[in-house]
Amino acid sequence: PIPMILDCDPGHDDALAILLAVADPAIDLLAVATVAGNQTVAKTALNARRMLSLAGVRGVPVAAGCDHPLAGPLEIGDYVHGESGLDGPVFGEPDVPLDPRHGVELIHDTLADAAEPVTIVAIGPLTNVATLLRRHPDDRDRIREIVIMGGSTERGNHTPYAEFNIHADPEAAAEVLGSGIPTTWVGLNVSHQALVTADVLDRIAALGTPLARVCVELLTFFGSSYQQTWGFEAPPLHDPITVAYLIDPAVLTHVRVGLRIEVDGPYTRGATVADLHGRMDWEPNANVGTVLDRDRFWDLMIGAIDTLGRR
Ligand code: BDR
Ligand code: CA
């Protein structure tokens, strides 16, 4: 299996990414760090513990990382994910403990202990990963690749031009991109191909397990946020695409292009600029996702919910 660290801010779609990462035998989930993003870091850490508990997973450490971005104020995504960060279902007390380490140190220790380079899947603001590279620059050699949900080859969601995760910490995103570590980017242009349509929701509901019911409750709340904020008929399930791509690279078509992060624009701060047509004379520096194989993706995601629900 592929050794993986998940850096996340659950968050409804993060919650399903956690389920996919623990269900599929192709992945060896070594650790979960959380970051402030969709909600405060205390809430995202609690939510990660809730999801691992529900999935019946013990022994994967969960730690809370950075509580604010490298620069600028913290802006949370409560208008999408609610007061708890995971509004919808009622959760019991999780029986997965909070690791006392800082999330960044959990990532560092996990990399140090791993027998081979590890893939980091980052599905929240990139503050933890950037802080890791500042504090422990030698760790870059222990990271095989960073798969990121963030940005877009088109426009934004949190602002007209910027996607939430990158807008939340553009300096961090720029540092991670500039680190020289291989990166693959799943942006809104891809995740808007993963809409939780009524037939997808029906397939999950038909699994009939308590876990499937929680997923339906999560996705129903998430769907109403998307309906109210952006008028979407069905919400896009962004984050799990990163994990699905690791499990089965055929899920995602990507191109190798020049990519930059806008940090200065007064109206475009946090935008990702992908030079898809080679207009800028930029050295290709990133793998940028373009097309999602929807059927493969949903089969993996729904299969994971099914597997875990029967355990
Ligand atoms: C990203 O922002 C968050 O709301 C989601 O969890 C996802 O990571 C989508 O823009
Ligand atoms: Ca997220």
3-state secondary structure of 26: coil
Tokens 């994910």 belong to residue? 81
State the distance between the two ends of the chain, measured CA to CA, in whole angstroms: 20
Helix and strand counts by DSSP (H, E) for the chain: 12, 10
Mean pLDDT of the chain: 98
Ligand nearest to the CA of 163: 1
Active site residues: 238
* Both structure tokens of 90: 């009622």
One-character DSSP codes across 239-255: THHHHHHHH-GGGEEEE
Q: Report the residue among 126, 153, 165, 188 best suited for mutation to probe ligand 1: largest number of ligand atoms under 8 A from its CB.
A: 165
pLDDT (0 to 100) of residue 208: 98
The Cα 140–Cα 142 span in angstroms is 5
pLDDT tens digits for 254-274?
Answer: 999 999 999 999 999 999 999
- What percent of the chain stands above pLDDT 90? 100
pLDDT (0 to 100) of residue 80: 98
pLDDT tens digits for 101-144?
Answer: 999 999 999 999 999 999 999 999 999 999 999 999 999 999 99
pLDDT (0 to 100) of residue 10: 98
Atom of ligand 1 nearest to the CA of 191: 9
The Cα 64–Cα 230 span in angstroms is 30
pLDDT (0 to 100) of residue 84: 98
Is 173:269 a contact under the CB 8 Å cutoff?
Answer: no
* Ligand 1 pocket by Cβ (under 6 Å): 11, 13-14, 38, 77, 80, 123, 149, 157, 163-165, 238-239
287 CA distance to ligand 2 centroid (A)?
19
pLDDT (0 to 100) of residue 58: 96
Which one-letter amino acid corresponds to residue 1? Answer: P
pLDDT (0 to 100) of residue 153: 98
pLDDT (0 to 100) of residue 226: 98
pLDDT tens digits for 57-76?
Answer: 999 999 999 999 999 899 99
Band the pLDDT of 229: cuts 50, 70, 90: very high
Band the pLDDT of 35: cuts 50, 70, 90: very high
pLDDT tens digits for 107-117?
Answer: 999 999 999 99
Mean pLDDT of the region 171-177: 98
- C-beta atoms surrounding 123 within 10 Å: 29
pLDDT (0 to 100) of residue 25: 96
Mean pLDDT of the region 280-307: 98
Distance of CA 242 to the CA centre of its chain: 7
Band the pLDDT of 16: cuts 50, 70, 90: very high
